[in-house]
Amino acid sequence: MSKKYILVVDDDPDLVETVAMMLESKGCEVGRAYDGVEGEESIKQRRPDLIILDVMMPRKDGYVLCAELKANEETKDIPVVLLTAVGEAVPTTRYSHADGMSTEADDYIAKPIDTETLWEIVNSLLS
């Protein structure tokens, strides 16, 4: 069976690396992107089997990118896992858990994430 290709999109480069290290240890191939626009370009170049997508990013945030992917016939079936921030405590932002739940993402996980829980979500969506 070929390796699953997962794209991780987050503007925190260290988190991208941590998640990539975990996924690679589970036998996945990992693509990395550092904002929504770069993520979008990466998806055009190579279709991932799953996308792990941060919501709070420069230029194009995760909600917008997720909505665009789900509205596009070619990409709507790619599972998307959103990484949400603890926005309830930050009234001036819209990056909350509630917003994460209202999108069409396939699942979401709140930061600070637990990499093992994230893997359970990814594994379940891939199978």
Partner 1 sequence: MDRLRRENAWDEAEAGSVSGRCLGGFKILWDNVHFSLFCEDSQDPKHALKLCSALSESKLNLPFFTFGIDEKGQYIGLTVESELALKAQKILDSLSWEKDKVYLATSRSSILSIFPHRSKPEIAASLLDAFSKNNIQPAAMANSSAAISAVIDRHLAAKATQALFGPFCFSTYRTPEDWKLAQKGKEKIYKEIIASYQEKRPKVYSLNWHLNLDLFEIRSLSTELRNMAQLFMNLDKAGLKLTFLISSAVGGNQEQKFFLAFPHATKDTFRENLGNLTSWEVRKDSQAVASFSMNGPHFGDRYGIAALLLQCFHEAGIRPIAIGCTVASIMGLVESGQVKAVTEAIRGSFDVPAVMEK
CA distance 120 to 127: 11
Q: Does 15 bind partner 1 (CB under 8 A)?
A: yes
The partner residues of 33 in beta bridges, in order of sequence, read: 9
Residue 82's nearest CA partner among 31, 36, 18, 23 is 36
Q: Does 14 bind partner 1 (CB under 8 A)?
A: yes
CA distance 54 to 127: 22
Q: Which is nearer to partner 1, 70 or 119 (CB)?
A: 119
67-96 residues in contact with partner 1 (CB under 8 A) are 85-87, 89-90, 92-93, 95
CA distance 86 to 74: 32
Smallest gap, in angstroms, from Cβ of residue 35 to partner 1?
6
Give the H/E segment covering residue 15.
helix 13-25
Q: Which is nearer to partner 1, 1 or 89 (CB)?
A: 89
Question: What are the residues binding partner 1 (CB under 8 A)?
Answer: 11-19, 21-22, 25, 32-35, 37-38, 41, 56, 58-59, 85-87, 89-90, 92-93, 95, 111-117
